[in-house]
Every structure is written in C-alpha cells, then in structure tokens.
Structure 1
Amino acid sequence: MKTKITLKELSKLLNVSVSTVSKALNDSPEISPKTAERVKELAALHNYKPNPVAVNLKKSKTGTIGVVIPNISNSFFARVLSGMEAEAQKHDLQVITYISNESLDREKQICELLTSGFVDGVLIAVSEETQRKKEYDHLFNLVEYEIPVVLYDRINVPLPADKVGVDDENSFYDATKFFRAKGIHDIGVVSAIHHLGVGKSRIKGHERAMPDGEELKLAVSSKADVLKQKIKDLISTKKIEALLCTDFESAIMSARIAYEENIKIPEQLKIIGYISKEVAEFLTPSISYVEQHPQEVGEKAMQLLSDRLEGKATAGRYSEKVIATNLVHLESTSF
C-alpha cells in the first residue's frame, strides 16, 4: 500500500537537499534528467502530494515576516521588535511574532510551521538551548526550503544567512580599559550566560584588555544560587573593586549582594552591566550600562531581509552587520 510522504522525507531518502527535490518535481532545468527521474519515481511510489496552501503561497508573496524571539521578558528583544516593526512598515510588510522561550523543541516547532509557506522570510534569535546543544538542523531546513533568513543578536551560528549583531567583545574591552585608566585593576566579570556566544564574546573582550598572564576573576554559573555565592566570594573575599556583568540577571544580583554585604556602590564597588536603560536609571544607586542600540539592530535586520526579498542582495553572498555599543555612565561608576 502506498503511503504519503513529505518533501523533507523525500530529500532524506534520496540524500539530496529539499530544494533539489522541489526543483526536480517542478521540472527545473537546474536539475539533471537522471536526478529528476529518481525524485519523481520515489515521489510517485510514496504518493507524494504537495501542500496546496504552501504551493500557492510560494507562487505569490504573502507580505508577512516571521520573527522568532527567544525571551519575551527581556526588554532588549521588545525594543528590537519595535525596530523591526518600524522598518517593516516602510516596505509594506507585516510581522507575525513567535516566542521560543529559550527552548530548542519549541524553536523546532516554530521553524516547522514557518516552512509551510505562510511567511516570505524569517528573522530569528536562536534560543539558549539551541546554542548550548549546537543543534541547528531546523535552521538549515529553512535555508533548504529557500526561505530567506536573518539571524539577529545571537549570530554565532554556522548558518549561511545574513546576520546582525552587537559588538559584544569590544563593549567589555572598552569597559575594562575605562576602569584601568581610572586606576582600578581588580576587576571581576559576572555572568549567567557564559555558555552562550554573546557571553563568551563579552568575557573575551575583558580578557583582551587585561595584561598577558593575569588571572581572570570570574563568577559564572547558569544556576542562580551558585552564581550568588560566587559573586559574594568575589566582592567580599577577593575585594574586587569593579564588576562587569554580562547580562541583566547578573547585574541585578551583583547590586543586591553588594547591598546585603554592606558594600557601598560606587564608593567600594563599581558596576557596569548589560541592563536596560528603563531599569538601570531607576535603581538606587543607578547602574551604568552598555547601550546596545536594540532598535537599530531590529531595523538593520529587517532591512537585510527586505533587500533579500526585493532582489537587491546577491544570491549566495551574505552580509554581517555589527552594531557598535557605547558605555552609559550613571551612579555606579561615579568617581
């Protein structure tokens, strides 16, 4: 008895790409007659039927862009989305948003849905779990289905796609140089995202600014209770003078622990963190932060995708845009 089969399953059985199968079934001159014959024979054997909705949408543009956000509680991504929306309006594009909640399985489900032909392109910041496990097949499937993809923010992924990121490495390089120029040399780095590409880049920037051979003073853990104890050790036992915090959680935790340990900010401890302006300015004392310009990240990502959709980008050649950061000094870095 014949069984139905999907385009993706056909490609696996034939050991060719999804796009090759699709082109062969549509008599593309790019595919050799021998390969086309193999594809059509197997498709017939398994009673392959194309998804009529996907076919119709493939032939005509939907005017819709799928945006995948990893964490809705992070105000950075809300501001990125605002930039995407503003730029999308300039190109008469509509945005539909999906949230992966830092889950690999959820991200896979979203990507499977996005291959159904309901969107013209995809903007995605990959989840923490995806980066940690280094499982990217679902992202490559988007490319195989010839869906234009732009990675934003979390761009340390080996995917042939346009990318827009923040200059994470130089942000902490500049912050470290700032402290050292002020005569502060006992600088610690706190991170709850040390295992992610952005966290690694920030730590690398700090390391690059330190003298060769000097031991790094790190407090890193993705577990809150472990990280809390490591921060205590840094600022109480090792008498660190300044902290660079790679993420929102570590910045807030560092400020709280300093308060609990009766360590005054900025007199005894100075802090620079990756924390949003909306929060940083209303803390007591206010926390100096790295301005990442998320609105610009969103605008640039949507620009790259619209250029790809409008045929302004060269096929097979991809752009990587890096947005420069700057330090915003508030009370926690007062001298």
Structure 2
Amino acid sequence: MKSKITLKELAKLLNVSISTVSKALHDSSEISPKTAKRVKELASLHNYRPNPVAVNLKKSRTGTIGVVIPNISNSFFARVLSGMEAEAQKHDQQIITYISNESFEREKQICDMLTSGMVDGVLIAVSEETQKKQQYDHLFALLDYDIPVVIYDRINLGLPADKIGVDDEKSFFDATKFFRAKGLEKIGLASAIHHVGIGQLRIKGYKKALKDEGAAMMATSTKPDDLKKKIRDLITEKKIEALLCTDFESAIMATRIAYEEKINIPEDLKLIGYISREIAEFLTPSLSYIEQHPQELGSNAIEILNNRLDGKYESGKFEEKIIATTLIHLESTKF
C-alpha cells in the first residue's frame, strides 16, 4: 500500500523548496515542465493529498475571511480594513482580523491557525520580517490546504497568489518628475522602509525619474537616530530643494528637522510624503502626500478573493491588480 506524504516530506525527497513543490502542484507557470513532472510523479507515487480535514471543511463555505494586518499603528491599514469590511458585508461575509506586528514568527502562527479550514480565504500584507527573511513556506502551506490567498499592498513577492497593490514605483517617478518640471535639481529621498518591497519600488521610481541615477541623494536607515542624522545632512549640508519620503516615519522626521533647523517649508524645501490625509492636513504647514486609496484597495481585495472562490479565475494563473495613486498638493509643495 502506498504511504501518504506531506508537502514538506515531498520537498525533502526532491531536494527542492516547499514553495517549488506547491507551485508545481498548482500548475504555476514559474515551474519548468520537467520539475513539475518530477513533483507530480512523486506525489502520485506516495498518494499525496492536501490535509483532509481542511479539504472536507472547504466543501462548504464558512462565510468567513481571515485578514492579516502587519501593524495597527499605521492608519493606512485601518482604512484598508474599512474597505474590506464594507465589501464583505455586501456578500454576507464576516472578517476575522489578525495582527502580525511585522513578526515572521507571529505570521507563521496565524497561518498555521488558518489552515484549519475555519476561513474561506486569506487576505494578507506580508510582514517586514518575513520579507527580510524571504521565507514564505507558511504562505505556501495555505495554498496546499486549498485556501485561496490574496496578497495586498506589499505585492512584489514571488508567490503564486492573487495580488492587489498600488503603483508605488510610478507614484515616486511622477512626484520626482513634478519637481524636475518645476526646475528643481537637488531632489532627495528619505526612507525607513528601503529594505522591503514597497520601499524599494518607490526608490526605483525616484531614480528612474532622475536624468542621472548618480544624482540620487538618499537618507535610508531602519534606525531612527541614524535616519534623523542622514535627513539632517540632506537638508542642511547638501541643501536639497525637495524631499520625497517613502513612509510616515521619514516624513514626520523631515518636518521636525526642518523646523529645528529653521528651514522654511515650502519656501526653502518642498516636501512630499507617503502619509495619511488625516495627519497630512493637520501638520503646519500641511504636507503634500501620495493618496493610496486604501478603502478601494480593501474592497477590491475582497472582490478578487470572491472571484477566486467562485471559480472565475483559471487555476494556476493569478490576478494582479494595481490601483493608481494620486498626488495631493497641500502647502508643502506650493511654488
């Protein structure tokens, strides 16, 4: 009698990653036909089946969706969740929310719980630590248990799942071109998230818009004191004319440092940040910002998941939707 085998054991026998096995079993175009054939032959030989408990539970809908949020300090995710809730209610679905706190281990724990079949699908913004480690086996496990996954916001990951995000790269390309069209040459960038996907995309857009990438002047660090020092150097020593901030932390630091150094915004320094409108409008001066339309992102994430659940997407092919951002000009970009 053929013995049953787990996804992890299959991967070990084949000397490949769990993600490769999962992709092959889900007919991902990322896997070569030769590798896919090896995986499927061995899976068949050992009578591989996804977790039977989860499969049985998935025969009928639970009406529940699991949402994993990386942190609650960022109001962006609260607005995304609001959009998800509103759309889910239209479909008589309930949302269970989990917070990973940007932790790889916590994210793994959450995904392990979700493989029990308690939800119809999972919406997840992958934690910063998971992206640093580039370890995604817990996400492939969800797919192995036949649980649809939609990755939202932080989407430039090589995972076989549906995705929805915003045009991070284009947003900073356009913002940089805006300053250049106004005749500014010394345009800087500050980032506390340069090490993760969305930060890298925003930096890429900034560099693309410069005539010469060697002209890039950047302050990047995950350490607050170090980042402050680098931003101060851009403003006071390099005397930049404009600054793009990829995240809330760097934007708030920049406004504070300008105040401390008696640098007038917008007369001496123009400023654009990735920051929520609720905060941007109440700063003095008010801060021009990139509007990411988080409610729209959230509602679309639910729609994509339901389309997957209803069989509207072809197996092995994944949806990727990009929402256009909007540059909102307030006082910090007045000319």
Q: Paired residues, what number?
A: 313
Question: 1:34, 1:249 → 2: CA distance?
Answer: 49
SS of the residue 2:126 aligns to: coil
Distance 2:160 2:187 in 1: 38
How far is the alpha carbon of 1:37 from its aligned partner?
6.9
* Aligned partner letter, 1:199: G
Query: Structure 1 residue 156: deviation in Å?
Result: 1.2
* 1:291 corresponds to: 291
Tell me how far apart the structure 2 counterparts of residues 178 and 34 of structure 1 sit (CA, whole Å): 56
- Provide the C-alpha distance between the structure 2 equivalents of 1:232 and 1:269, rounded to a whole number of angstroms: 12
Equivalent residue, structure 2, for 1:46? none
Aligned match of 1:303 = 303
1:9 positional shift: 5.9
Q: Provide the residue aligned with 1:157 in structure 2.
A: 157
* CA shift for structure 1 position 59: 2.7
Report the AA paired with residue 322 of structure 2: V
Structure 1 counterpart of 2:212: 212
Cross-structure match for 1:114: 114
- C-alpha separation in 1, matches of 2:114 and 2:160: 18
Secondary structure of the corresponding residue to residue 109 of structure 2: helix
The corresponding residue for 1:327 is: 327
**Cα distance in 1, alignment partners of residues 189 and 41 from structure 2:** 59
Q: Could you report, residue by residue, the CA deviation over 1:175-214 in whole angstroms, capped at 9, with x for unpaired residues? A: 1111111111111000000011100110111111101354
Deviations 1:84-119 (CA, angstroms, capped at 9, x unpaired): 111111222111000000000000000111111111
**Is the contact made by 1:154 and 1:198 (CA closer than 8 Å) also made in structure 2?**
yes
* Alignment partners' CA distance in 1, 2:105 and 2:172: 32
Residue 158 of structure 1 aligns to which amino acid in structure 2? G
Alignment correspondent of 1:124: 124
**Alpha-carbon distance in 1 for matches of 2:110, 2:7:** 16
Distance 1:14 1:59, change over 3 A: farther
- d(CA) in 2 for partners of 1:319 and 1:192? 29
CA distance in 2, matches of 1:243, 1:80: 27
Q: From the superposition, tell whether residues 284 and 250 of structure 1 become closer, same or farther in structure 2 (CA, over 3 Å).
A: same
* Structure 1 residue 215 displacement after superposition: 2.2
RMSD: 2.5
Higher mean C-alpha deviation, range 171-180 or range 8-17: 8-17
CA distance in 2, matches of 1:32, 1:141: 17
Q: Does 1:60 align with 2:60?
A: yes
Structure 1 length-normalised TM: 0.87
Q: Which moved more, 1:65-74 or 1:209-218?
A: 209-218
For 1:264 and 1:210, the matched residues in 2 are separated by 25
Alpha carbons of structure 1 residues 33 and 167: separation in structure 2 relative to 1, 3 Å: closer
- Provide Cα deviations, 1:300-323, integer angstroms capped at 9, x if missing partner: 111110011112221111111011
Tell me how far apart the structure 2 counterparts of residues 212 and 261 of structure 1 sit (CA, whole Å). 29
CA contact (8 A) 1:186 1:242 kept: yes
TM-score normalized by structure 2?
0.87
Contact 1:19 1:145 in 2 (8 A): no
Alignment partner, residue 202 of structure 1: 202
Runs of 4+ aligned residues of structure 1 deviating over 4 Å after TM superposition are: 5-21, 31-37
Partner of 1:280: 280
Q: Which runs of 5+ in 2 are unaligned?
A: 26-38
Instruction: State the structure with more CA Rg.
Output: 1
1:81 Cα offset (Å): 0.7
User: Tell me, what secondary structure is at the counterpart of 2:279?
Assistant: helix
Residue type of the partner of 2:127?
A: S
Q: Distance in 1 between matches of 2:307 and 2:275?
A: 32
Q: Cα 1:323–1:38, aligned 2, differ >3 Å: closer, same or farther?
A: closer
CA separation in 2, counterparts of 1:20 and 1:179?
46
Whether 2:139 is the aligned partner of 1:139: answer yes
CA-to-aligned-CA distance 1:128-179 (integer Å, 9 cap, x gap): 0011111111111111111101110000111111100110011011111111
